[in-house]
Amino acid sequence: MTIEKSVASSASTRYGRTLLGLLFTINLLNYVDRLAVSGLLEPIRKDLNLTDAQLGRIALAFLIPYSILPPVVGWIGDRSNRSRLIAWAIALWSAATAITGVTRSFGQLAATRAVVGVGEATYMTVAPSMVSDVYGSGTRGRAMSFFYTASPVGSALGVILAGLFASAYNWRVACMMVALPGIVMTLVMSFFPEPKRGALDAEQQAERPPLREAARSLMRNRPFLWLTLAYTVQVFAYNPVEFWLPTVLQRDKGIPLVQANTIYGVLVFVAGFLGPLLGGLFADMLIRRRRTVYYWICVASALGSVLPIVGFVFLGRGVPLFSAVFVEVFLGNVSTGLVFAILMTIVIPGLRGTATAIILTVMHLLGDGLSQPLIGQISSALQSGGSSLFGLGGKFPILAQMARDQHLTLALACVAAPSMFLSAWLFFLAIPRAPASTIGDGYAEGLSVRDGSVTHVQ
C-alpha cells in the first residue's frame, strides 16, 4: 500500500501521526526562535541604546515579510513539494536567528528579523495544508489545535531559554543557542515525503485553479471573508500581549529578567498547551450537536480575554498578576486551532494553501503589524510626556502616575482590551445562520457545512 492510500484510508496511520508530530516540532522551534527575542528586548534595548518605539519597529521588520509573502508562498506551496519548501524555510530562519547574536545596530537587528520573517512565513503558510491532508473533518479540529499548541509552548520555551542563556552568558549567545536545533530539523524534513493533496476530501476539488479564478472564488466566499476579518482583529489584540508582556514584567513590574522570563514561560507553557488542546477536544465533542460550536468558542475566548488584559494595569507583582497572565494566555490560544480548522472546512483542498496565505497576510499586515509598533510608539510618548500629552494629568492623577510608572502596560491595555471586544463581535457576525449554509461561490459553490464536515450538494 502506498503512502497516499494509507493516508487516505485512515488518519491514525503511522505516517499521519509521524507527520503531525514532525510539523508540531518544527512549529515549536519556529516560535522558540521568534519569541526568544521578545524575552530579550530589555537587555537588547540597553545594549543597543534603543527606545520602545524602535523595539516596536523591530517587530514590524519581522511582520512585513511575514505578512506580505504568504500569498506568493501559498501559491508556490499549492504547486510544489511542500516538504522541501519547509526544509528551506527552517534553514533560513535558523541562520538568521543565529546571526542576530552578532548585530551591532538597530538596522542590522531589523534586517535579521526580516529574514526570520521570510522563513517563518513560508512554514506557517504551507504546514496547515499538510495537516489537513492526513486528518479528516471529524478529527481535523483536534489535529489542527494540537499543531497550534506549538505556538504558546514554543513561545514559552523561547522566553525561558533566552532568559537562562542570557543570564549565564549574554543575549547574543542566547540567540545563537536557540537557533541550533533548526539544523537537525532541516535535514529531517528534506527527506520526508509529503501527503497526497485532498486525500481525505475525495468529494472536493483538489486541483489548483488558475490565479484569477482562485482569487474570484475566495473573494466570493463570505464565510472566508468574515473569518479573516474576525481573526485579524483578534491577532491585533493578542499578539502584542505575547510580544510585550515579558518586557512589562521585567520593567513595569520590576521582576528580574530570569525570574520574569521563567515564570512567564512556565505559565505560557501550561496555559498555552491546555488552551488550544482543550478547545479542540471540547469543540469536536459538541460539533455534531451544534455545527457552529467552533465559532461560539472563538466568541467566548475573545470576550473572556478582556478582563485579564485590563488587570495587567492594576495588579502588582504576585499571584494575582500571574493568574491574569495565565488566564489571558489560555483564552488567547483557545481559538487558534479552531479558526484554521474552520478555514480548512470552508475552502476546497486545492485552495487551502492560498487561503491560509491570504489570512496570514491580512491578519499580520492589518493585525499585529499595526498594533505592536503602535504600542511601542504610545509607550514612548507616555514615557516622554506622561498623561499631560493628552491634557489629562490634572483631572486624572492616577492616570498620570500610570503613565509615569507603567507606560508600556498602559499602552498595551489601551490597544488590546477594546480590540478583543471587537473581535468577539466579528466572530459572532461570522456564525452561519442557515441550517445548511452555502460556504461560497466560484470553486466553493455547491459546498455546505453539515455536522462539522463539508459535503457536496447535488
| End-to-end Cα, the chain, rounded Å | 32
Higher pLDDT, 146 or 331: 331
Query: Which has more pLDDT, 314 or 203?
Result: 314
Torsion of Cα atoms, 104 then 105 then 111 then 117, to 10°: 80
Of the candidates 417, 105, 64, 40, the one whose C-alpha atom is nearest the C-alpha of residue 243 is 40
Q: Say if residues 119 and 127 touch (Cβ distance below 8 Å).
A: no
| Residue 9's pLDDT band (cuts 50, 70, 90) | very low
pLDDT in the model for residue 434: 58
Q: pLDDT, tens digit, for every residue of 367-383?
A: 988 898 899 888 888 87
Least confident of 11-15, 181-185, 336-340, 370-374: 11-15
Confidence of residue 26 (pLDDT cuts 50, 70, 90): very high
- pLDDT value at residue 450: 34
Provide mean pLDDT across the span 35-44: 88
Say which residue the cell 494629568 belongs to: 393
**Tens digit of pLDDT for each residue in 396-437?**
555 556 666 688 888 999 999 999 999 999 999 888 775 443
User: What fold is seen in the domain 12-453?
Assistant: Growth Hormone; Chain: A; (1.20.1250)
pLDDT at residue 173 in the model? 93
Q: What mean pLDDT is reported for the chain?
A: 80
Quick one: which H or E segment has residue 101?
Answer: none
Domain boundaries, the chain: 12-453
Of 37-46, 261-270, 303-312, 341-350, the range with the lowest mean pLDDT is: 341-350
What's residue 210's pLDDT?
Answer: 66
Evaluated on CA atoms 253, 257, 259, 264, the torsion sign reads positive
Where residue 202 falls among pLDDT bands split at 50, 70, 90?
A: low
Q: Contact, 65 vs 79, CB < 8 A?
A: no
State phi, psi for 256 to the nearest 5 degrees: -55, 150
Residue 391 in this model has a pLDDT that exceeds 80: no
What mean pLDDT comes out for the span 358-370?
A: 85
Supply the pLDDT for residue 386. 53
At 12 the pLDDT is: 47
Torsion angle, alpha carbons of 402, 408, 414, 418, to 10 = -140
CB 37 within 8 A of CB 174: no
pLDDT band at 38 (very low <50, low <70, confident <90, very high): confident
pLDDT score of 438 more than 50: no
Task: Give the torsion through C-alpha atoms of 214, 218, 220, 225, to 10 deg.
Answer: -170
Give a three-class secondary structure readout of 282-319.
HHHHHCCCCCCHHHHHHHHHHHHCHHHHHHHHHCCCCH
Q: What is the pLDDT of residue 359?
A: 85
pTM over 0.85: no
Q: In what helix (H) or strand (E) does residue 449 lie, and over which residues does it extend?
A: strand 447-450
Rounded Cα distance, 376 and 196, in Å: 44
Taking only the tens place, the pLDDT of each residue in 76-127 is: 877 788 889 999 999 999 999 999 999 999 999 999 999 999 999 899 888 8
151: closest CA among 61, 88, 243?
243
The residue-averaged pLDDT of 222-246 equals 90
pLDDT at 234 over 80: yes
Minimum mean pLDDT among 7-21, 55-69, 247-261: which range?
7-21
Amino acid 11: pLDDT = 42
With residue 454 as reference, give the H or E element that holds it: strand 453-456
Q: Which of 232, 267, 234 is nearest to 417 (CA)?
A: 234
Task: Quickly count: other Cβ atoms within 10 Å of residue 138's Cβ.
Answer: 15
Write phi, then psi, for 441 (nearest 5 degrees). -110, -170
